[in-house]
Amino acid sequence: HVQPVESGGGLVQAGGSLSLSCEASRDIPSINAMGWFRQSPGNQREFVASIFRGGTTTYADSVKGRFIISRDKDKNTVYLQMNSLKVEDTATYYCNEGGTYVSGTYVPNRRFWGQGTQVTVSS
């Protein structure tokens, strides 16, 4: 595939957990960085988390302490473990491949977006 592919979305109750996966289109060691974004109806796509080639991770303040981004180089897959989910975490989650790191911010690569996976958190 030429784009990253997400999986793992679904419906979960508030306080629960969900894990998302993103299979990269290339070998992870060749990718500078990968990130997760989310978008809910009527809102702009927003940054969630990123992981860089060296292993450094960054998180949005809204998910810090609840979400964990990780990777498995052998499977060319990046994961987003989401814990203590809140209703406001409901969104379509997108994986981005090959972004850059500018002044502490993950800047997505416009060419490499996944198709998105829906996460719905019920109260």
- What are the distances in angstroms from CA 63 to CA 32, 69, 104? 23, 11, 17
Q: What is the pLDDT of residues 21-79, one digit of tens each?
A: 999 998 888 888 999 999 999 999 999 999 998 899 999 999 999 999 999 999 999 99
Give the mean pLDDT of 1-12: 93
9 contacts: CB under 8 Å, gap ≥ 6: 18, 20, 92, 93, 117, 118, 119
What is d(CA 45, CA 41) in angstroms, rounded to the nearest whole number? 10
Residue 1 has pLDDT above 80, yes or no: no
Find where tokens 């894990």 sit. 19
Predicted confidence at residue 31, as pLDDT, reads 86
| Nearest in space to 71 (alpha carbons), one of 85, 87, 86, 51 | 51
